[in-house]
Structure formats: structure tokens, C-alpha cells
Amino acid sequence: MIADTTAINRQRSWFIEGNSLWLFGYGSLLYKADFPYLECRPAAIRGWKRRFWQGSHDHRGTPQAPGRVVTLTEAAGTRCVGMAYRIPPEALGPLDVREKNGYLRFTTELTFLDGGNDRGLVYIATEDNPAFLGPAPVPEMARQIAHSHGPSGSNRDYLVDLAHALRRLGEEDEHVFALEEAVWSVSPSPS
């Protein structure tokens, strides 16, 4: 089912003070930064892992045939590597629209890979949102990704672009890389 978190996210603005804030991207925000930012730095957050468990009805799929995109799920002792962007607060409005299908603003502690830390904002689609799909066997998720397309492009490209961006950061993400490998063995759907 489709969600719309824009109104809730507008109220989650308690952390906005000053002229800029850090945004942590771990999915499409990691490789598709089509928003204004002042600087970007590779960073990690602790206690979360990246999973293709969120349905995409608006970007990489459709309401009739949703795709699968990443969200974060809690996992003690792990860390998730991504990109931190220092953004002006006015960048958040369009980001809320981009992330509206189930993602909520949370604040978290960021550790920059080149040293230091700060608080930042992260969009997470928790398992109680209506577009949440949850886990499934890798071949099943790979089939869904291989066959899904939406207004932002193919779901396969979302996965492959994310895998490339993680490699550029030197990050080994077994979940993403296993899906990337599995997706290549799925034959394309007839057009």
C-alpha cells in the first residue's frame, strides 16, 4: 500500500537550527544527489543495516507492481556506510516529497570516515509503514527488482547504481552485492 509521510515529516523539524544540517544518505541519496548541498563526506551510522525491504510505488515501481528499495533496520553491533551531505534547511521540502512513500525523518549520530562526528538526519522507512515489504528470499527479491520500473527508472538500475556507489566508498555490503549478482541471472520480462 502507498504511504505519504510529507505532513508528518514537516513536523519533525526540532533539529533544524542554524543555516545547515547534515543529511545521511544510504540508498538513492548516496548516488543521486539532485538537491543543493554545501559539502559531502563519507560517513557511517551505528546500529543499522541496509535492506531492500521497502516497497517503491512511486520511483522504481508502480502502485500495481511495486519495486523494492532500501531502508534501514536495527542491528546491534553493525554499521551502515553512506554519504553525509551538509544541506541548507530549505532542501528538506523537496526531499520529503522524494522520500514520501513511507520514510520518516530521524536524527542520528554520524561518524565521518575521515574523522569526527556530528548529529544528522536520516530518512528511514520503519516496518509499520504501509509500503513496507520486509524480507524475502534473495532470488525472489531479485526477480521483483529485475522486473520493476517506475517514474524514476528501472529498479535494476537503482540496485546497480547503489552497488557501484558502495564500491567507490570501498564498502562491502553482502546484502546489496548478493542481490546484484542474483539480478543478472533473471531474464528480462518480455516487452
Is 99 a known active-site residue?
Answer: yes
With contacts defined by CB under 6 A, name the span among 5-13, 23-31, 139-147, 167-175 that binds ligand SIN.
Answer: 23-31
Q: Which of 3, 21, 45, 69 binds ligand SIN (CB under 6 A)?
A: 69
Q: Which of 99, 109, 127, 172 is catalytic?
A: 99
Give the chain's end-to-end CA distance (angstroms, integer): 26
Distances, alpha carbon 126 to alpha carbons 79, 98, 133, in Å: 17, 16, 10
- Between 168 and 187, how does the x/- string for binding to ligand SIN read (CB under 6 A)? --------------------
Q: Where are the alpha helices (DSSP H) in the chain?
A: 6-11, 28-31, 92-98, 138-147, 155-168, 174-184
123 is a contact residue toward ligand SIN (CB under 6 A): yes
Radius of gyration of the chain (CA): 16
5 is a contact residue toward ligand SIN (CB under 6 A): no
Active site residues: 99
